[in-house]
Amino acid sequence: MLYYCIFARMNSANIAATKELLSEPQKIVIIPHKNPDGDAIGSTLALWHYFMNSGQEAVIVSPNDFPKFLKWMPGNEQIINFESKNQQAKAALEAATLIFTLDFNHFGRTGQLAPILENSEAKFIMIDHHQEPSDYAIVTYSDVSMSSTCEMIFNFISYIDTTDKITPEMANCIYTGIMTDTGSFKFRSTTSQTHAIVAQLIDKGADNMAIHSHIYDTNSPSRLHLLGCALNNMVILNEYHTAYITLSQAELDKYNYQKGDTEGFVNYGLTLDGIRFAVIFIENKEEGIIKISFRSVGDFSVNAFARTHFNGGGHDNAAGGRSDISLSETTEKFVSLLPSYQQQLNT
């Protein structure tokens, strides 16, 4: 029996539907988005641990590699990288009877995996906190008010089972995703409920000091030099309360860029007095695109801005996008758009 339902918070009927799907043995595949961050890896690993401890057969297939600073996480070595272990990943996807998609809501966010997912005969369950979800899933647990997909995974487990099943390994994974997606608990999406869940995670074995150290206190000289380059490239447009950073492929190569090295760079613009809109443009020659991250404070929606102009989206204060034109043309386009938003940025 199939259950087609979309819900912001799981009610009793939704919970019953999900339990029925999981009442029989499944071949489960769990998928994060391309270029997975702490929330994507944390949520997929936490759910994987839960299923493995519950007697279900489960694997994680990631569209590509993830940053080194996340590779301490319990179970990370079990993640199948679609790029480097292509045949193993395809075999898992072909055998899947149930696919969980976490921390994204459009197949397009999975890169080369998208065509495979679109043609899959497996059932899908989506758990995600971004805006405007697609309708590909049998069950869609979508709640844009949540701080993170990891917070939703904690709730999901409590809905279909009991949080007594959360092990120290799971607690570390969930804590990581909540911490990283809330900017260490400083973003607006951090609620009293978020803190209540974090308190429970610590009680269940999450090592908050070690997690923070793994994520934020591990740097290489090349990454710090790259940060210096990025800050040197920062352009401040006071009339629009905006700051943006550019990084060319040549600059990335010069400082031996590794995946994850630019994590958090965009936020430096928002530390400036009076800046409400911060952006970073990063050239990716291999993909032929400019990757863009948008951040804001207050009521200026970077989600709407990214969706309208840069093929992206996300949250009101944190979003991503892309551009298919050159780095210089992309920044020129961006600056040309700002006069239309001057009133919003001045409010």
Strands of the sheet containing 242-247, edge to edge, are 235-237, 242-247, 277-284, 289-296, 318-323, 313-314
275 backbone φψ class: left, alpha, beta (φ>0; ψ -120 to 50): beta
Triad 262, 263, 265: Cα angle to 5°: 65
User: In DSSP terms, which residues pair with 277 in a beta bridge?
Assistant: 242, 296
* Residue 20 Ramachandran class (φ > 0 left, ψ -120 to 50 alpha, else beta): alpha
Non-local CB neighbours of 104 within 8 Å, separated by 6+ positions = 32, 33, 40, 110, 128, 130
Coil, helix or strand at residue 246: strand
What angle, rounded to 10 degrees, do the helices at 168-181 and 208-216 form? 50
Query: CB of 10 within 8 A of CB of 159?
Result: yes
DSSP tag of 85: S
Per-residue pLDDT of the chain (347 residues; tens, 9 = 90+): 344 444 446 767 778 889 999 999 999 999 999 999 999 999 999 999 999 999 999 999 999 999 999 999 999 999 999 999 999 999 999 999 999 999 999 999 999 999 999 999 999 999 999 988 999 999 999 999 999 999 999 999 999 999 999 999 999 999 999 999 998 998 888 999 999 999 999 999 999 999 999 999 888 999 999 999 999 999 999 999 999 999 999 999 999 999 999 999 999 999 999 999 999 999 999 999 999 999 999 999 999 999 999 999 988 999 999 999 999 999 999 999 999 999 999 98
Planar angle of CA 293, 300, 102, nearest 5 degrees: 50
The secondary structure of residue 79, as a DSSP letter, is P
Give me the helices (H) in the chain, please.
Answer: 12-21, 38-53, 86-95, 114-118, 149-160, 168-181, 192-203, 208-216, 221-232, 249-254, 302-309, 327-337, 342-346
Determine the angle formed by the axes of helices 12-21 and 149-160, rounding to 10 degrees: 80
How are strands ordered across the β-sheet holding 98-102?
5-7, 139-142, 123-128, 98-102, 27-31, 57-62, 80-81
Q: pTM for this one?
A: 0.90
